[in-house]
Amino acid sequence: MRWLLRSKIHKATVTGKNLNYVGSIGIDKTLTEKVGLWPGERVLVVDNTNGVRLETYVIEEKRDSRKIIMYGAASRLIKKGDEVIIMGFELTDNPISPKNILVDKNNKFVKFL
């Protein structure tokens, strides 16, 4: 069995943060549906702005809100305005075709990669 990339939101912009929350990343529901991420799913978040990498879990934000929000302790590492890549993985014995998307600076879907 191998861990393979299954989902990726590329070049998203963090729109907010809230330290006083249990912890997670909020992602516009439109984007989670395009790449197949589920609420509660573990994701790797890579910050292109400062190089930080962390794991957290998904919370869906309102559809078409274009929100990417860092919650809890992660909001100390990844700030509003930072560019991030959000990735979900799958443990499998078989090759898979990942769903990777590119978004613009306003977190609007641009295209599948």
CA-CA distances (angstroms) from residue 3 to 40, 63, 86, 88? 18, 29, 16, 10
Considering the domain 2-112, what is its CATH architecture?
Beta Barrel (2.40)
pLDDT recorded at residue 65: 98
- State the pTM of this model: 0.96
Q: Please say if 65 is a catalytic residue.
A: no
The residue type found at 10 is H
List the catalytic residue out of 24, 65, 71, 75: 24
pLDDT of 11 reads: 98
Q: Looking at 7, 21, 57, 65, which residue is catalytic? A: 57
Distance CA 100, CA 78 (A): 21
**Which residue positions in the chain have pLDDT lower than 70?**
none
Binding residues for substrate: 56, 72-74
The pLDDT score that the predictor gives to residue 22 is 79
Q: Determine how many CB atoms are found less than 10 A away from the CB of residue 18.
A: 13
pLDDT at position 12 = 98
**Is 24 part of the annotated catalytic residue set?**
yes
What are the structural domain ranges in the chain?
A: 2-112
